[in-house]
Structure 1
Amino acid sequence: MPRIYQPHALQAGLQLELTPEGARHVQVLRLQPGDGITLFGDPVCGGEWDATVLRMGRSSVEVEVGAHHAVEREPARAVHLAVGMPANERMDWLVEKATELGVASLQPLMTERSVLRLKGERADKKQAHWQAVAIAACEQCGGNRVPLIHPVRSLDDWLRQPAPEGLLRGVLSLAPGSRPLLQVAATDPAAPLLLVHGPEGGLSPQEEQALLVQGFAPVTLGPRVLRAETAAIAALAAIALST
Structure 2
Amino acid sequence: MRIPRIYHPEPLNAHSEIALSEDAANHVGRVLRMQPGQAIQLFDGSNQIFDASITQVDKKNVRVSLEEGVLSDNESPLNLHLGQVISRGEKMEFTIQKSIELGVNTITPLFSERCGVKLDGERLDKKLQQWQKIAIAACEQCGRNRIPEIRPVMQLEAWCAEQDDSLKLNLHPRASHSINTLPLPVNHVRLLIGPEGGLSADEIAMTSGYGFTDILLGPRVLRTETTALTAITALQVRFGDLG
TM tier relative to shorter chain:
over 0.9
- Tell me the amino acid that sits aligned with residue 173 of structure 1: H
Structure 1 runs (4+) deviating above 3 angstroms are: none
CA contact (8 A) 2:175 2:216 kept: no
Q: 2:203: which partner in 1?
A: 207
Q: Residue 57 of structure 1: CA displacement?
A: 1.9
Q: Residue 225 of structure 1: CA displacement?
A: 0.6
Alignment coverage as a number of residue pairs: 236
Q: 1:183: which partner in 2?
A: 181
| Counterparts of 1:69 and 1:94, CA distance in 2 | 30
Task: Tell me, yes or no, if structure 1 residue 219 matches structure 2 residue 215.
Answer: yes
What percentage of aligned pairs have identical amino acids? Answer: 38
| Counterparts of 1:176 and 1:18, CA distance in 2 | 49
Q: 2:63: which partner in 1?
A: 62
CA contact (8 A) 1:134 1:146 kept: yes
| Counterparts of 1:118 and 1:157, CA distance in 2 | 18
- Tell me the amino acid that sits aligned with residue 241 of structure 1: V
Q: 2:38: which partner in 1?
A: 35
Q: Residue 224 of structure 1: CA displacement?
A: 1.0
1:1-243 equivalence runs, <5 A: 1-27=3-29, 28-43=31-46, 46-160=47-161, 162-164=162-164, 166-177=165-176, 179-184=177-182, 187-242=183-238, 243=240
SS in 2 for 1:64: strand
| Counterparts of 1:199 and 1:230, CA distance in 2 | 12
How large is the RMSD of aligned CA atoms in angstroms? Answer: 1.3
CA contact (8 A) 2:167 2:186 kept: no
Normalised by the size of structure 2, how large is the TM-score? 0.93
| Counterparts of 1:195 and 1:138, CA distance in 2 | 21
| Counterparts of 1:9 and 1:100, CA distance in 2 | 23
| Counterparts of 2:75 and 2:191, CA distance in 1 | 18
Q: Residue 65 of structure 1: CA displacement?
A: 1.1
Q: Residue 117 of structure 1: CA displacement?
A: 1.7
SS in 1 for 2:68: strand
Query: What are the Cα deviations for residues 79-114 of structure 1, in whole angstroms up to 9, with x where unaligned?
Result: 110011111111111111111111101111111111
